[in-house]
Amino acid sequence: SNGIDGRITNGKRADVGQFPYQVGLSLKKNRFSTSWCGGSLISPRWVLTAAHCTEGIAEVTVYLGATERTSAEVKHTVRRDDIIIHADWDTRKLTNDISLIRIPSTSYSSRISAVRLPAIARSYSLYTGDRVIASGWGLTSDSSNTV
């Protein structure tokens, strides 16, 4: 199937400061419609997230330094003008599903810092066989009703 199947569940609670780049995004389309997505802090002023999260959004509140939705060390609310969606984002093919959110400059701390991205290079490792950790805002069990 070419669609997106399943979700990541049965995760573990993150320790404070374990994923200092992980941000929470409360996305507001209008006064009646809000949703939640995750993103990664890539610099003091920029958050990287998915275009499917930010498409049609009027306002987003960015939560930094949080391990629970209500425990943010810092939060910023920005408007549509601060959201940049990839010019070739295709909602049907789900290609170029990437966007940037500009936030006021944020000071780093033990709970807030940018993700370490690979350096720009002519080629990249495929990381075949390497272990990875996915961080985000999900359920710690399939039967849980809290995020």
For residue 124, what pLDDT is reported? 80
Spell out the SS3 assignment of 36-53.
EEEEEEEECCEEEECHHH
pTM of the model: 0.86
SS3 75: strand
Hey, what domains does the chain have and what are their CATH numbers?
Answer: 22-102 (2.40.10.10)
As given in the structure block, the two tokens for residue 45 are 């002023």
For residue 133, what pLDDT is reported? 84
Given a contact cutoff of 8 angstroms between Cβ atoms, the answer to whether 25 and 53 are in contact is yes
For residue 41, what pLDDT is reported? 98
Q: Chunked in runs of 10, what are the mean pLDDT values of the chain (147 residues)? A: 54 91 96 93 98 96 92 95 98 96 97 91 85 83 62
Start-end of H helices in the chain: 51-54
